[in-house]
Amino acid sequence: MVTLIGKKAPSFKAAAVVNGGEIVNNYSLDQFVGKKYVVFFFYPKDFTFVCPTELHAFQEQLAEFHSRNCEVVACSTDTEQSHWGWLQVDKNKGGIKGVTYPIVADTTKIISLNYGTLKGDYDVDDNGNLMATDEMIAFRGLYLIDKAGLVRHILINDLPLGRNVDEALRMLDALQYFEENGEVCPANWAKGKAAMKASHSGTAEYLAKH
């Protein structure tokens, strides 16, 4: 599979639910190019089990993302009506009421396909009929997009494996630190820790301090 790292994030226009209940048409990430970072994440299905824990976890850290000039946007292959309905259900009943960031409806599955996170593919059987090879829902894909609209980090988990929101924040911090200071971030780097100059001398200097 060809990676999107370092390339323009695939553009799209689709219906989305914003602010916890408003359905808008032609929602696009293009509005943030040149202005903001974006964490764009996919989840498999509305009204499931692991998915609401992730959506609430991103909501709980939403102020941290916003403080870093970063928008959080979710997406699944459910309809915008399904998103809206799930947003009306209380958290203690398995719903995602209280989530305010946009949730995109990838009903055509083209967004998931273009981002390389669609579970399944389309094929043709022996009779020439179009068929789906799997469930045709999204894996747990996450894409960190910089202000230029380039994909800088990708994480794709299988369906049973929930993501770590703190790790998404850490990667955003690492990208912004590199952009601001020109230093690269070693393994397990976290905000406030020493980074490295991108040279052999820089590596030696970092190792000498650790």
Catalytic residues: 51
What CA–CA distance (Å, rounded) separates 185 from 28?
31
Partners of residue 76 on adjacent β-strands:
105
Amino acid identity at 176: Q
At 42, is the secondary structure helix, strand, or coil? strand
User: Which two three-digit tokens encode residue 184?
Assistant: 């690269």
Helix (H) or strand (E) holding 17: strand 14-18
Helices (H), 109-164: 110-114
Q: Are 174 and 185 in contact (CB under 8 A)?
A: yes
